[in-house]
Structure 1
Amino acid sequence: MKNIMMKAGNSCLGSVCLNLTVFAGLVLSMASCARQAEQPPLKDPQPKNTGPKTELATCCWVATTNEVLNRIEVYDPADASWNSSTMKWSWMPTTALSYNATSEIPLWTAPTDIKVRNNTVFANTAQVITATSYRLATIARYTGTGTKGQKLWVMGFNDTTSLHAMEILPDGNCVVASAGKKWPQGWIRIYSSSQPSPNHGVNTQYYFASAHAVLWDATHQVLWALGNQLRKYKYNTVISGGTITNPKLELDTSYDSLPSPWGHDLAADVNNPDQLLLTTNGGVYTFHISTGTFDSIPGAAYGSFTKSISSQPGQNTLIETRPSSGCPLYPASDWCTSVVNFYNAASGAATGSRTVSGSAIYKAKAFDPNYY
């Protein structure tokens, strides 16, 4: 195992889920190149809601970002086949969900991130989703009184922005990560999304080259961010010097060198709150919070250009996506795949896969509503 001690300098996470039926299959994946320019996807005019309806997020379904149909799609690994008839839920911004047809919906192209979180800050909500595409970041209702998927907060961006992730904080404010179009562009912003319009757009920006992921860690009460390095930020309106209406972050520690260049994704290790899971252009790693060190993930789970990673509790399972030729947009869109891969978290051995034929998946993440 590769163990690297990183230099620390001064300067959203966890999951608890129920058991899931074990599945089998063969893994199909191949490494590819890093994600570059935005590609216009084909459009599906309306989201489809198929399969059984539920008022609570079933843990742990898997949410995918399908850039062919330009929507979020949620599946159950217990289903041997993933298709429109087995899909548990799907989502994209529509006018029926209160999104503006002129100023908001056209910005939703190529979805890049999806999370479901327990959060009751917004009136009559129990859970929310956060989602990004290249130029749109949003919080939407998942459970509670009201229409599932309805807009709660949204922010659009110009065409120089390349959004890759967002996280909601416990107080209802959120953090958005932009990788930028060219090196060394990139930033994270904290928004006052907990506030009513027009004050919900107040934000503070922090330069961060190639920012790709943000993750709230409720165990340690910090925000992790991944780009050309791994950073730990404090967030508390007293500690960070902001207010809930004008929130700020405070950089606590910067791990100056990743074990290989260019971070892509960041997730909780649901079986160990002292660890994070992260991917880069070069490989897949665990980060030990208490020691500030990285280890390479063993076996087949270690692979270059892995675009997303997350873990399933109780099953000792990792979920990953890597670019592959089965994607209908590949190789022109060299970040996509139609295959979601599963691995044993301890050994890294492949344990199965699911294919969504005709899809262009960037990320596949455990659809897990809980923080630690």
Structure 2
Amino acid sequence: MKNVVMRAGIARLRSTRVQLTVFACSLLAASCTQRAEQLPTLAGTPGNGTVKTTTAATTAPTCCWVAVTNQANSKIEVYDPADASWTTPKWSWMPTTALSYNATSEIPLWEAPTDIKVRNNTVFTGTAQVITATSYRLATIARYTGTGTRGQKLWVMGFNDTTRLHAMEILPDGNCIVASAGAAWPQGWIRIYSSSQPAPNHGVNTQYFFTSAHAVLWDDTHQVLWALGNELRKYGYNTARSGGTITNPKLDLLASYTVLPSAWGHDLSADVNNPDQLLLSTNGGTYVFHISTGAFSDLPGAAQQTMVKGISSQPGQNTLVETVPSNACPLYPANTWCTSVVNFYDATTGAATGSRTVGGAAIYKGKTFDPNYY
């Protein structure tokens, strides 16, 4: 999005172990099997490198729920693709005083939610998984599983009304990256925070100018951070050259892919079924980025859409998840950024395999709710 300016008046994820039926045959037009949602185990596999010094919870890839950012009610909502009707979410969340958010300085900044991720993370006391969420003016980390209340505030940072936050990512060591598109071109930045640290040191940060920054993604396989805006960038984290530490984290620009297949990046996800691939969307289309070669290729068939705000894949499934702006966005029908529909596609052929509708919703982004780093 070339910093599409949304209207200023926009209104404002571990359940108990359940059996998931992978998409109904009517949705995927494929054979259906029963799978259980896997909750994390606390015995992670330590790796090498700067980030993997903290053992994180791990879980085997399984078919996952889908999380949407519903700007009609200012909530994060999580749904099961196996449910034919998306009328009642499996879980929903927004900042509240009951979850320790400040009624004066934090909750009023939560408007127009723009991003949601769930991640395996045991850095914060009593946690096994956390969520990260952004709205235009608020970025936060909250408990998802572990000891304590689900959705409880763990870290939060507020911003002014020109920031236009679009995404964030938490690193396995508890620090996080926030992406701002800015209110006008050529504004934008990504900022890395020492969110792993106790207050008041959890606000230490370093900012990197990045025009129209819209997405950030930690790549555990390659131990790098990917960021998407007017270009695709690869960063090292706390490398010797960057001079960063866990208390004062820094990024190190390793590569810039300045020529996207089409202009203005929107979303970026791991291809969870292929560690050499990223999925990304721009104003002009949806693409695969091949990490080993640095080349882009088009997604096939109907999965090739323009202005896609959310793109992801389902672990162990040959399925892509996309949210495409449409007239099926009752709250803001004149806009080009929202929808009430989540679409599913065959990842090989690009054929449309079905959709789910959240009645009355203004969904900016809908993505696989997968706790694993890839």
TM-score scaled by length of structure 1: 0.86
Report the counterpart of residue 123 of structure 1 in structure 2: 125
Tell whether the 8 Å contact from 1:237 to 1:244 is kept in structure 2 after alignment: no
Partner secondary structure for residue 266 of structure 2: strand
- Name 2:4's counterpart in structure 1: 35
8 Å contact kept, 2:180–2:212? yes
Give secondary structure in 1 for the equivalent of 2:202. helix
Query: Is the Cα contact below 8 Å between 1:38 and 1:134 reproduced in 2?
Result: no
Aligned partners of 1:239, 1:59: CA distance in 2, in Å? Answer: 39
Q: 1:302 aligns with which of 295, 298, 304?
A: 304
The alpha-carbon deviation at position 371 of structure 1 amounts to 1.2
Q: Does residue 1:140 correspond to 2:142, yes or no?
A: yes
C-alpha distance in 1 between matches for 2:201 and 2:272: 35
Amino acid at match of 2:66: V
Judge conservation of contact 2:3–2:184 (CA < 8 Å) in 1. Answer: no
> What is the TM-score with the length of structure 2 in the denominator?
0.86
Question: 1:66 maps to what in 2?
Answer: 70
Asked if 1 retains the 8 angstrom alpha-carbon contact of 2:63 and 2:316, the reply is no
Contact 1:179 1:209 in 2 (8 A): yes
CA offsets, 1:228-265, max 9 Å, x none? 00000001354521111110000000001100000000
| Residue matched to 1:277 | 279
Alignment-derived partner of residue 341 in structure 2: 339
**Partner Cα separation in structure 2 for residue 328 and residue 99 of structure 1:** 30
CA RMSD of aligned residues (A): 1.8
Following TM superposition, by how much is the alpha carbon of 1:39 offset from its aligned partner in structure 2, in angstroms?
4.0
Q: Which residue of 2 aligns with 1:15?
A: none
Q: Which residue, out of 353, 356, 359, partners 2:358?
A: 356
Q: Taking every aligned residue pair, what percent have the same amino acid on both sides?
A: 77
Per the TM alignment, residue 180 of structure 1 is displaced from its structure 2 partner at its CA by 0.3
Rounded Cα–Cα distance in structure 2 between residues aligned with 1:34 and 1:64: 21
Alpha-carbon separation, structure 2, partners of 1:342 and 1:34 = 26
Secondary structure at the aligned position of 2:348 is classed as: coil
SS of the counterpart of 2:307?
coil
Please report how far the alpha carbon of residue 314 of structure 1 lies from its aligned counterpart in structure 2 after TM superposition. 1.9
Partner residue, 1:173: 175
SS at match of 2:108: helix
**Cα displacement string for residues 164-219 of structure 1 (whole angstroms, at most 9, x for unaligned residues):** 00000111000000000000000000000000111100100000000000000000
In structure 2, how many angstroms separate the alpha carbons of the residues matched to 1:234 and 1:52?
A: 37
Asked if the contact 2:65–2:370 (Cα under 8 Å) also holds between the matched residues in 1, the reply is yes
For residue 160 of structure 2, what is the aligned residue in structure 1?
158
Structure 2 residue aligned with 1:290: 292
2:8 and 2:162 mapped to 1: Cα distance? 14
SS at match of 1:121: coil
Partner of residue 84 from structure 2, selected from 67, 71, 80 = 80
My pick for the range that moved more, 121-130 or 306-315, is: 306-315
Flag structure 2 segments of 5+ consecutive residues without an equivalent: 19-37, 41-61
Can you list the C-alpha shifts for 1:92-133, whole angstroms capped at 9, x where unaligned? 000000000000000000000000000000001000000000
Cα distance in 2 for residues equivalent to 1:315 and 1:52: 22
1:186 partnered with 2:188: yes
Deviation at 1:315, TM superposition (A): 1.7
Output one character per residue of 1:14-35: Cα deviation in whole Å (capped at 9) or x when no partner.
Answer: xxxxxxxxxxxxxxxxxx9973
Q: Are the structure 2 counterparts of residues 33 and 245 from structure 1 closer, same or farther at C-alpha, using a change threshold of 3 Å?
A: closer
Counterpart Cα distance in 1 of 2:168 and 2:216: 6
Deviates more, 1:277-286 or 1:54-63: 54-63
Number of residue equivalences: 333
Distance 2:243 2:3 in 1: 37
Residues in 1 aligned to 2:197 and 2:226: alpha-carbon distance in whole angstroms: 23
Q: Quick one: which amino acid aligns to residue 228 of structure 1?
A: N
The alpha-carbon distance between structure 1 residues 235 and 34, as it changes in their structure 2 partners (threshold 3 A), is closer
1:319–1:64 CA distance, 2 compared to 1 (3 A) = same
Q: What is the identity, as a one-letter code, of the residue corresponding to 2:159?
A: F
Question: Using the alignment, how far apart are the partners of 1:114 and 1:158 within structure 2?
Answer: 20
Q: 1:224, 1:230 within 8 Å by CA — same for their partners in 2?
A: yes
**3-state SS of 1:141 partner:** strand
- Aligned to 2:124, the other structure's residue is in SS state coil
AA of the residue aligned to 2:165: L
CA deviation vs aligned residue, 1:72-109 (integer Å, no higher than 9, x gap): 0000000000012xx10000000000000000000000
SS in 2 for 1:261: coil
Letter in 2 for 1:35: V
Q: Which residue of 1 aligns with 2:56?
A: none
Comparing 33-42 and 265-274, the one that deviates more: 33-42
Contact 2:298 2:304 in 1 (8 A): yes
CA distance in 2, matches of 1:38, 1:103: 22
Structure number with the bigger relative contact order (C-alpha 8 A, sep ≥ 6) is 1
Residues 35-61 of structure 1: CA distance to partner in whole angstroms, max 9, x if unpaired? 323443445xxxxx9x96879488500
- More deviation in 149-158 or 306-315? 306-315
Q: Which runs of 5+ in 1 are unaligned?
A: 1-31, 44-48
